[in-house]
Structure formats: structure tokens, C-alpha cells
Structure 1
Amino acid sequence: MSTPRKSPKRPATRTAPAPSGPNGGRPAVPVADRPVEDDFWPRVTRELADDLAVDALARDRAGKVPFDEVARLQEAGLPALLTAPGPDLRGVDWRAACAVVREISAADSSVGELLAHHYALSWTSRFLDPLRAAPDPLARAAEENWLLAGDMEPPPAESGHGLVLTPSDTDDGGWFLDGTRAFASAVTVADRLVVGARPGGTGDQLVVLVDPGAPGVFTEAGTDRVGQRLAGAGTVTFERVPVGPGQVLGVLPHDEHAVAPFTTLAPIALRLLLVHVGLGIAEGALAEARDISRAGHAGPAPAGHPTRLPATDGAPDDPYLLLAYGELATAAHTAAAVVERATDALARGLCAGWTLGVEERADVAVLVSAAEAVAGQAAVHITTRVLELVDGAPGTGAGGGGPGFDRFWRNARALTAPTQAAHRLRDIGDHYLNSTHARLTLLA
């Protein structure tokens, strides 16, 4: 049964405590407090990734709600990284944010997924309302180091109306929010939820910001997940939750022809961030397998070979092992090249803002679809093969699988399973052959 969302005390973290912020005692580390050296964020990301890698297997097996992981992210200041540059805040661009997600995912892909969803949602107001006159409710997200969760996109048609807004009887023009939705990431640990709901269940959709600790909000954590166990997935039920006009981030028109091309970059941006999560999984698995092989462990015998070739002293020189790593490294490099091209295209589209045209949007969508297809296949292939490469190595346990190497495969499968690769390839082919544009839709 669902229970009201509470804000339990976060566990102590490993570094010196930062000053507490107003968001329930978590350390608030605004970007303005950070140094301005160009290498600062890469260095912070590497240090956090190294820290997460130390106990990634133990935390994956424990499968607890990721309060500790979120505390580590917030102490590093990473939730506030992707902010708009201004007089008070020094933000970074989407390329840098994608690089952060990719490196964190190589160490712990569940934490990478948390961050990916947060970064996509942090731009909600900009995707929806560029000429906003009222204060942006998300301005506090960077100031107070919030972690965001939710989904601004409408639910699939087969799932019903989703969330519904009913006008309240107050004079402020607010609503009551009702309904239930499942979310893929962070709802069990988020500081705020970004959700879309339709007044009366029909028409245009309002995207609103909700406090998960508010009365009437009930969160049920997802359990028994195959992979991405620490991503904080769950189901949220809203029962007459008050929503004021100041909580509205923007409007999604019901008529897709009224949606601006720039607005439809929102789901594409999230898809690309999740591609970086998948690429990080592949690179992390390959790097850990390489460390085991470098330690002198034997690789698997090739098909038809009667015995495993012996391990060597020093650098491995088993030709079949070298062949296997050559194949996997090439697959990783190929995926990275495609993903980086898509990242550059999305960054250009985001810089274009509301001047972005339909043609340019279609080109970005095609490149992101290609990145999804290539990186998804590479992630599953690489994580499957590394299970074979470390099978039977000393200290990896009976039955093979390495020291928790199955988690890379499980995470890759869980992350890529919702993506219909055939649909992406069909859209790419239609665009290439017939110059057909993908629909301007908010659905991923």
C-alpha cells in the first residue's frame, strides 16, 4: 500500500559537511559558490565517479532507496551544474552535462540515470515558456540544489487520462491535482516533482511543480527491478493536492501542430542523456573487464578450442583475448563517435532556441535516434561479452560472471528495453530515403 512521501534524514556522507540549505537539511551548493576553472567540473565528476565505483556492487545488491547516492551528488554540487549562465550563476552547456552523466554512469548507471532525468527536467520552463513574465518556480532548483523527478510528457494514450487538475474553490485560481502515474527515476528521493496534468482530463496540459512532501502525495517505490535498481523508480498517487498558479511551469498544447519545434526537443534531450547513460555502462564494464585481464587472468577459449589458453605473466598476449578486446573497444569507439555527433547537433538546436525550424529539429531527431540504436546495441553486446571475458577468472566466484559483472548486463538491458530500436531505425530510413520529418510530438 502506498504511504505518504516523507523526508527521512539522509545518511552522513563521506566528506566534510557543507552548510545546510532550506530544502530539508541537505547541503545547498549553488553554482555561484564554485570556482571558475575550466577543469573544475570534470575533476569533481571524476572524484565522485571514483567514490561511487568503490561500493557500486554492494549498493546494487542492497537495492535500497538511493538517499546516500543523492547526498553524494548534492555534496558535489552536480544537480546545480546545468543552469543558465547569468550574473549570479555560472552554468555549463549540454555537452558538459552529457559528459558528466556518461562518466557517472560508468561507475554507477543508476545514479547516472537519476542525473539524466534531473538535467532534462531542469530545462522544463525554458522548453515551455520562453517569454515567461512571472517568476520561474525552477529558479530555486539551482539555488537550493534540488533533485528533480517526474515527466513533463503526456502519458501514452492507452494508459488513460493520467493526472487531472480540478479547479479549486479558492480565489487564487488554483487547482487540485489527482491521479496516479509511474515514473522511471528519482521519485522516491526527489526534492520536487515535475508533472503534466490536464484540467478536467482533456485539452491542453499544464506542467506543474509539486512538493513530494505535500499532503496528499503518496509514493510507492518500485521493487524487484531487473536492473537500474538504485534509480529511484516508483509510482506516485496524488489525492486533491493543492496546486497554485505559481507552480505552473508552462502549457503543452493538445494540438501537436501548435507545438513549437524547440519545445519538442525536450523528450529528445532526455533520450540523448539516457544514451549517455548506456554508453557509460558499456565503457564502465569494458574498463573493469580490462583491469581483470591485465592482472593476468585467462580469457575464454574461442569456439571449437578445447581448452582455455593459459594466463601470461605481465601483459596478456592471448591472441583470442586481444581479438575480443579489439572488437569490443571498436564497438565502444564507434558508439561514442555517433553519440558525440548527436550531442553536438542537440547542443546546436538548443542554442537556436525558438528560432529552431522544423528541418533542423528533424535532423537532430534523426541523429539522436541513430545514437540510441548504435549505443543501445553496443551496450548490450559489450556487457554480454565481458561476462564471457571474466568467466572463471580467480576471485570472480563460482559459475563465472565476475565480481558483479552481471549488474552491467542487467542495467544495460533495463535501460534499453523500453526503446523500440526497430521504430528508431524505421524513422531514420524514412527520413533518409523519403526526406520525411518525424512528427512534432512530445512523446519520446
Structure 2
Amino acid sequence: MSVATAALARTPFTGNATTGELTHWRAVATEVAQSLAVDALERDRKNEQPHAEAQLLRSSGLLDLLVPAEFGGAGGHFETAFEAIRILANADGSIAQLLAYHYFNQTGIAFYAPAKQQGAWWERTVAHGWLWGDSVNPVDPTLLLTVEADGYRLNGAKRFSTGSGVGEVIIVNALVQGGENDGKVLAFVLPTDREGLELVDDWDYLGQRLSASNSVRYSNVRVDAAEILGEVTEEPVSTLLIPGLQLAFANFYLGIAEGALARGKQLLLGRKNAWFLSTAPTYSRDVIFQRTLGELKARTAAVAALVEKLGRAYDLLIAKAGDVTAEERAELAVAIAEAKIVSTETGVEVANRIFEVTGTSSTSNDVGLDLYWRNVRTHSLHDPVDYKKIEVGQYFLHGEAQPISLYT
């Protein structure tokens, strides 16, 4: 029952997205976003588990975008997935988060499982239409796996388990006690209806209300040996999962900023008069408001250029699989940390300052402009951006990377 720790010989991801691939999935994501936009505010206020939204993602094909074509998926690239996340965030940051976490939970197959075992996992996720949640929050006490015949028993609890409320399966990390894997952290997959696994519907926060990020409790949950993906190690290619997830964050912060700008523009153009001290005929013709929007738009465009570049770079490095070096991994992780910094600050600033051009009337509860700020403000606290700044500064000054963790 020992878990192999050999380097991954390959990943199923190769090359970069074609123009055709990007065009197709942009159209799919845009259609989904338009559907989400219709009642985003109403759904946010209800604060219910997003089962209908999960089904929308499933029926659109977005859940299987990254599954290799040889196993029944779309055979897409991370660059395309990042863009889909960004487009959805224009309309609904919660569902963009749900999709982002799904992608990196699902592709844990490639990051953790031995190559010869990956095909069966990919085929199962397609056949059953799985949405993948997670239960790996590292700031909670460690989950414990206790050895028993042909498997384990899992005990403990995790908060902030994104997607667990609506996912068919969740990926879990836990520390093994006893046996030949004693002291190892294993990644494994559990169905959310497993006996002893309790989904606690306690996600009631300022924003990202529909990300299904509730708590999960485990009471002597059976974990079969066949449900183990592999060991969580510091092998360079397997540890690229976390920078990839951080880049997904940058994309949905960017998408929220773009959504706030679009909604702000709509509201500003709808204002028919002007401030009484202005000589402009309308608010939208007032250079003060034009200047503010110009500044916010330019900053958002700069973030977009950076994350698009990094999406392509991520695909290229993932394709090297076991040949990825620690130095290459560190360089890309720091570049993604830079994107995390500017996307966080730009997203929060845009979602906040958009009110400067839309006026008091835009704070009405039925307008819902606050949804963008509440969403980006909530998730941008996931890990302190100041530590990302330190990570970048340390690498720039000394060429020293931060220790590998579930945040770096």
C-alpha cells in the first residue's frame, strides 16, 4: 500500500492554445456569463448552494475543458481555462471561483497521480460529469489518515472547502499516521456522499456567497487505497499546481474589475444631467469622470496583458512535466506572484472607485454595484498580498524563492 514518490514522467498537457480553441471557449464562457448576469444579484442575496449554476457549467462543457481529448474531454489548455474564469467573473465572481478551483482540483490527477493511473481518473470525471471541490485549507488543523486494512480512516475538519457544497467529489490532503506511509501527506478523492463526511452549510460571508465554500467534517470516513492520487511532494512540476491556482485568482480579480468597469460605464452613460458646477452637458462628458475611468481602465488593461502572457507561459512549463527544474518553477511562481499583487490591488481599487463616477444613486440596493467590491474584497483576503510582495522582493534582490507551501 506504499505510495510511489517517483517523478512524474509526463503530464497530459502539451503546447499552447490555438486561435480556434480560444475563440470557441470565449464564446462558450460569454454565453454562460450572460446567463449568470441576468440574476446574479438575486442569487447572491438568496445565498443558496449553487446547484443550478454547477449544472450550467456542466452543460456548457466548461467542466471538461482541460480533460485530455484521448480520455473524452475537450483537450484544452490552461490559457483557455484562465480566460474562461476571467469572462465568468465579469458577471459572477462566485461562479468564476467555483470553476477556477474545479480546474485545479480536477487537474490534481496530472499533478499527483502516476502516469499509468491518470487515464482512469480522467475517464471517470468525464463519464460522471464531476465538479471537483476541495478540502485542503492549510491554516486549519491537519486532517489525519489512520491506517486500516487495505485503506485508511479519515478524521478532522476543514473550513473554506470551495465547491464541496455542490461537487460530486472533493480532493483532500491529509497526513498519514502509521504504516509504511507514516508522516506522508497524501492527496486523495472522495465522493461527497461518503458515510461520515458531513457538509456543513456555513458559508455566510460578505462576498463570494455562491462559491459553495462551506466546512467539511470527517468522522471515521473510509478512504480506499484506490482513491489515493499520490503523495504531496516538492517535485517541481507537481508543485506548479499552487502557482496555477494563484494565476486563476489573478484572472478572476481581473474579471471582476472588468465587470465593475462595464457596469459603471452603463450607469454613467445613463445619467442625463451633470454636476451643477460643471460646464459639461452630462456626467459622461465631464473630464473629471473621464479621467477617473481612463485611469482605472488603463490599470485593468495592464493587468490583462500580464495575466495573458503568464497563461501562455504556464502551459509551456507544464508541458515539460518531469523536466521542470526548481529554478524554472521558482521563476514562474514569482512572476505569478507579481500578477497576484497587481490584480488584487487593481481589482479592489476599481470595484471601490467605480462609485466615484456613478454617484449616490448607484449605491441603491437594487443596482447591485456593490457585488463586485464585496466579491473581490472577500476573496482577495485568501492570503495576504503583502507576503506576495515580500516573495517578489526577496527573489528580485537575492534570487531566493519562498519555501514551497499551499500558498506559494
**1:53 to partner: Cα distance:** 0.6
**1:215 to partner: Cα distance:** 1.3
The separation in 2 between residues aligned to 1:289 and 1:334, in whole angstroms, is 19
Post-superposition CA distance 1:340-371 (Å, at most 9, x none): 23222222221121111111111101110000
The separation in 2 between residues aligned to 1:145 and 1:87, in whole angstroms, is 13
Q: Aligned runs of 1:256-405 on 2, under 5 Å?
A: 259-297=234-272, 307=276, 309=278, 312=281, 316-393=284-361, 396=362, 403-405=367-369
Post-superposition CA distance 1:39-79 (Å, at most 9, x none): 43222211111111111111111111111111211121211
Equivalence for 1:7: none
Q: Which runs of 5+ in 2 are unaligned?
A: 1-18
The separation in 2 between residues aligned to 1:96 and 1:134, in whole angstroms, is 22
The separation in 2 between residues aligned to 1:133 and 1:44, in whole angstroms, is 31
**1:240 to partner: Cα distance:** 1.5
**1:316 to partner: Cα distance:** 2.8
Equivalence for 1:241: 221
Q: Please list every run of at least 4 consecutive aligned residues from structure 1 whose deviation after the TM superposition is greater than 4 angstroms.
A: 399-402
Q: Which deviates more from structure 2 when the two are superposed, residues 226-235 or residues 341-350?
A: 341-350
Equivalence for 1:439: 403
Q: Which amino acid counterpart does residue 326 of structure 1 have in structure 2?
A: G
**1:133 to partner: Cα distance:** 4.5
Select 2:376's aligned residue among 412, 421, 430. Answer: 412
Kindly indicate whether residue 153 of structure 2 is the aligned counterpart of residue 176 of structure 1: yes
The separation in 2 between residues aligned to 1:323 and 1:266, in whole angstroms, is 39
**1:126 to partner: Cα distance:** 1.1
The separation in 1 between residues aligned to 2:31 and 2:64, in whole angstroms, is 17
Equivalence for 1:232: 212
Instruction: Decide whether aligned partners of structure 1 residues 174 and 289 sit closer, same or farther in structure 2, where only a CA change above 3 A counts.
Output: same
Q: Which amino acid counterpart does residue 202 of structure 2 have in structure 1?
A: G
Equivalence for 2:393: 429
Select 1:82's aligned residue among 53, 66, 72. Answer: 66
**1:262 to partner: Cα distance:** 0.8
Verify the 8 A CA contact 1:392 1:402 in the aligned structure 2. no
**1:400 to partner: Cα distance:** 5.1
Instruction: Decide whether aligned partners of structure 1 residues 205 and 132 sit closer, same or farther in structure 2, where only a CA change above 3 A counts.
Output: farther
Q: Aligned runs of 1:146-161 on 2, under 5 Å?
A: 146-151=130-135, 155-156=138-139, 159-160=140-141
SS in 1 for 2:110: helix
Q: Which amino acid counterpart does residue 335 of structure 1 have in structure 2?
A: V
The separation in 1 between residues aligned to 2:186 and 2:395, in whole angstroms, is 32
Instruction: Decide whether aligned partners of structure 1 residues 413 and 154 sit closer, same or farther in structure 2, where only a CA change above 3 A counts.
Output: closer
Post-superposition CA distance 1:211-257 (Å, at most 9, x none): 1112111111224301101111111111122111111111124xxxx
Verify the 8 A CA contact 2:64 2:74 in the aligned structure 1. no
Equivalence for 2:101: 117
Higher helix share goes to which structure?
2
Instruction: Decide whether aligned partners of structure 1 residues 297 and 416 sit closer, same or farther in structure 2, where only a CA change above 3 A counts.
Output: farther
The separation in 2 between residues aligned to 1:329 and 1:402, in whole angstroms, is 25
**1:329 to partner: Cα distance:** 0.5
The separation in 2 between residues aligned to 1:214 and 1:81, in whole angstroms, is 27
**1:419 to partner: Cα distance:** 2.4
| % identical aligned pairs | 27
**1:289 to partner: Cα distance:** 0.6
The separation in 2 between residues aligned to 1:347 and 1:135, in whole angstroms, is 20
Relative to the length of structure 2, the TM-score reads: 0.88
Post-superposition CA distance 1:401-439 (Å, at most 9, x none): 771111111111001112212111111111111111232
Q: Aligned runs of 1:7-156 on 2, under 5 Å?
A: 38=21, 39-86=23-70, 88-133=72-117, 136-151=120-135, 155-156=138-139
**1:37 to partner: Cα distance:** 6.3
Post-superposition CA distance 1:135-176 (Å, at most 9, x none): 64343112322100014x5723xx33x21112224xxx1112
- Which has the higher relative contact order, 1 or 2, with Cα contacts under 8 A spaced 6 or more apart? 2
The separation in 1 between residues aligned to 2:163 and 2:71, in whole angstroms, is 30
Verify the 8 A CA contact 1:262 1:361 in the aligned structure 2. yes
SS in 1 for 2:319: helix
Select 2:173's aligned residue among 196, 199, 222. Answer: 196
The separation in 2 between residues aligned to 1:134 and 1:321, in whole angstroms, is 53
Instruction: Decide whether aligned partners of structure 1 residues 134 and 112 sit closer, same or farther in structure 2, where only a CA change above 3 A counts.
Output: closer
Q: Which amino acid counterpart does residue 167 of structure 1 have in structure 2?
A: V
Relative to the length of structure 1, the TM-score reads: 0.81
Q: Which amino acid counterpart does residue 390 of structure 1 have in structure 2?
A: T
The separation in 1 between residues aligned to 2:71 and 2:383, in whole angstroms, is 40
Q: Which runs of 5+ in 1 are unaligned?
A: 1-35, 254-258, 302-306
SS in 2 for 1:190: coil
Q: Which deviates more from structure 2 when the two are superposed, residues 331-340 or residues 126-135?
A: 126-135
Kindly indicate whether residue 183 of structure 2 is the aligned counterpart of residue 208 of structure 1: no
Q: Which amino acid counterpart does residue 198 of structure 2 have in structure 1?
A: F
The separation in 1 between residues aligned to 2:118 and 2:62, in whole angstroms, is 27
